[in-house]
């Protein structure tokens, strides 16, 4: 598999990161959203990489998006902003949106003028997303939304919200519908602070109390919501795997540099076989994750169903990123335990990868269902 290298976008990303790094560290320390960096990502075309130019995007291919996710993967708060905007919001809009919906939302999202959020999870509906309780009641030419969402990325900074709600609870998953809500409709949000990692990325709750949405803002058809939610997560899982690859690359690069520079027993620690073993295990985890990710992307781009490949890539790469971040700290010794060293942040940031867009347990059940033909997690 030889994906296009996309050297230019990689170089652009590296230059952006060099400039952004000091400011990002401050936003991380303050748990503040890095608006100026997000605006810059928008100007550089990072927030609509694969969106066609006529819809305001950079018009590149999906591999360019993967390249960017790898480059930004070591800066997980920024990587998260990139993937929420594109995998979770722009992808379903492009796939299911009407011409009017695309014209209304895609250009502003692709240019980073506004941010979007993907509202599936609720306090009582996490892994079991189909049990969501948010209701949408039809009233003539609009719907009225009532409910709550939690753990939503971009909740407090987004203007556009993809909200999944039940229009027909009797029909189970087939009674779920996707809506395009806007902050101006009366969507209320509140921040959730104190995360272990992704400290500069926004997370919050969404409150929908009598929010009226015109019927033209249903995405897909009534009852298509769960299908849209799951197909969106397939792309999301690939982007998390690519982000994990980037995190591992950063952890390995930092560990290699440190191992060559740090001396003990009169030699660089890189000369010790047990330190080399850490570095070797890190490299193998990184490359295996990269191959699984590229395999999933290639299948998606051939237009084939890639749910299995996306789950395998997400499961392996997210667990591998945690192993790699652990080893990175081990190579750094006590110094790695201090925030002054970047590997401390990588260790914290790696932790989210096995949790969101389907926990590792859920990925195993998706893979198990493909193997056995039996879904272990249906009601």
**Which distant-in-sequence residues (6+ apart) come within 8 Å of 319 by Cβ?**
354, 360
Q: Smallest gap, in angstroms, from Cβ of residue 316 to ligand FAD? A: 16
How far is 222 from 308, CA to CA, in rounded Å?
Answer: 27
Q: Smallest gap, in angstroms, from Cβ of residue 367 to ligand FAD? A: 13
Q: Smallest gap, in angstroms, from Cβ of residue 297 to ligand FAD? A: 22
Which lies closer to ligand FAD via its Cβ, residue 194 or residue 334? 194
Q: How many Cα atoms sit within 13 Å of 343 on the Cβ side?
A: 27
Identify the sign of the CA torsion 184, 87, 310, 175: positive
Give the SS3 label for residue 75: coil
Which lies closer to ligand FAD via its Cβ, residue 319 or residue 331? 319
Note if 357 is an active site residue: yes
Q: Smallest gap, in angstroms, from Cβ of residue 360 to ligand FAD? A: 7
Which lies closer to ligand FAD via its Cβ, residue 87 or residue 255? 87
Give the SS3 label for residue 209: strand
Which lies closer to ligand FAD via its Cβ, residue 11 or residue 127? 127
Residue 373 φ then ψ, to 5°: 80, 5
User: What is the full DSSP assignment across 113-174?
Assistant: SS-EEEE--BTTBSS-GGG---EEEEETTEEEEEEEEEEEETTTT-SEEEEEEES-GGGGGG
Say which of 28, 70, 309, 357 is annotated catalytic: 357
How far is 116 from 35, CA to CA, in rounded Å?
Answer: 14
Q: How many CB atoms lie within 10 A of CB 31?
A: 17
Q: Smallest gap, in angstroms, from Cβ of residue 46 to ligand FAD? A: 19
Give alpha helix (H) positions in the chain: 7-30, 35-43, 62-72, 76-83, 91-96, 99-110, 225-261, 273-301, 307-332, 342-350, 360-372
Query: What is the rounded end-to-end Cα distance, in angstroms, of the chain?
Result: 39
Which lies closer to ligand FAD via its Cβ, residue 68 or residue 366? 366
Query: Helix crossing, 7-30 with 35-43: angle to 10°?
Result: 170
Q: Smallest gap, in angstroms, from Cβ of residue 129 to ligand FAD? A: 7
User: What is the full DSSP assignment across 316-360?
Assistant: HHHHHHHHHHHHHHHHHGGGGGSTTSHHHHHHHHHGGGGTSSS-H
How far is 139 from 108, CA to CA, in rounded Å?
Answer: 29
Which lies closer to ligand FAD via its Cβ, residue 58 or residue 352? 352
Q: Smallest gap, in angstroms, from Cβ of residue 369 to ligand FAD? A: 11
**Which distant-in-sequence residues (6+ apart) come within 8 Å of 334 by Cβ?**
none
Which lies closer to ligand FAD via its Cβ, residue 331 or residue 365? 365
Q: Closest residue to ligand FAD, Cβ-based?
A: 126
Which lies closer to ligand FAD via its Cβ, residue 55 or residue 157? 157
Q: Smallest gap, in angstroms, from Cβ of residue 32 to ligand FAD? A: 16
**Contacting residues toward ligand FAD, per CB under 6 A:** 84, 118-121, 126-127, 151-153, 195, 198, 203, 352, 355-357, 359, 361-362, 365, 377
Q: Active-site residue numbers?
A: 357
């Amino acid at each position: 598999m030889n994906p296009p290298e996309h050297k230019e976008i990689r170089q652009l990303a590296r230059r952006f990161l060099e400039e952004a790094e000091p400011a990002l560290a401050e936003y991380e320390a303050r748990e503040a959203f890095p608006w100026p960096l997000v605006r810059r990502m928008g100007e550089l075309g990072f927030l609509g990489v694969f969106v066609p130019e006529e819809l305001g995007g950079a018009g590149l291919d999906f591999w360019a998006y993967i390249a960017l996710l790898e480059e930004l993967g070591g800066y997980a708060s920024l990587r998260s902003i990139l993937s929420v905007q594109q995998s979770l919001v722009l992808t379903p809009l492009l796939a299911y949106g009407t011409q009017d919906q695309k014209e209304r939302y895609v250009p502003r999202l692709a240019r980073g003028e506004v941010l979007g959020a993907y509202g599936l999870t609720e306090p009582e509906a996490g892994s079991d997303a189909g049990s969501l309780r948010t209701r949408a009641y039809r009233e003539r030419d609009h719907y009225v939304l009532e409910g709550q969402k939690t753990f939503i990325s971009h909740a407090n900074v987004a203007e556009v919200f993809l909200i999944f709600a039940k229009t027909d609870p009797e029909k189970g998953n087939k009674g779920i519908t996707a809506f395009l809500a806007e902050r101006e409709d009366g969507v209320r949000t509140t921040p959730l602070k104190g995360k272990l990692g992704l400290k500069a990325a926004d997370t919050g709750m969404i409150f929908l109390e009598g929010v009226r949405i015109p019927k033209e803002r249903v995405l897909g058809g009534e009852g298509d919501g769960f299908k849209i939610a799951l197909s969106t997560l397939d792309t999301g899982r690939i982007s998390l795997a690519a982000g994990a690859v980037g995190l591992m690359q950063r952890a390995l690069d930092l560990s290699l540099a440190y191992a060559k520079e740090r001396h003990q027993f009169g030699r660089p620690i890189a000369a010790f076989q047990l330190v080399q073993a850490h570095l070797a295990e890190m490299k193998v985890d990184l490359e295996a994750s990269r191959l699984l990710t590229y395999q999933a992307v290639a299948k998606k781009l051939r237009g084939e169903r890639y749910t299995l490949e996306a789950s395998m890539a997400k499961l392996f790469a997210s667990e591998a990123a945690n192993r790699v971040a652990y080893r990175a700290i081990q190579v750094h010794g006590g110094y790695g335990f201090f925030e002054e060293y970047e590997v401390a942040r990588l260790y914290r940031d790696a932790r989210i990868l096995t949790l969101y867009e389907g926990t590792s347990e859920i990925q195993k059940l998706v893979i198990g269902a493909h193997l056995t033909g039996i879904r272990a997690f249906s009601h």
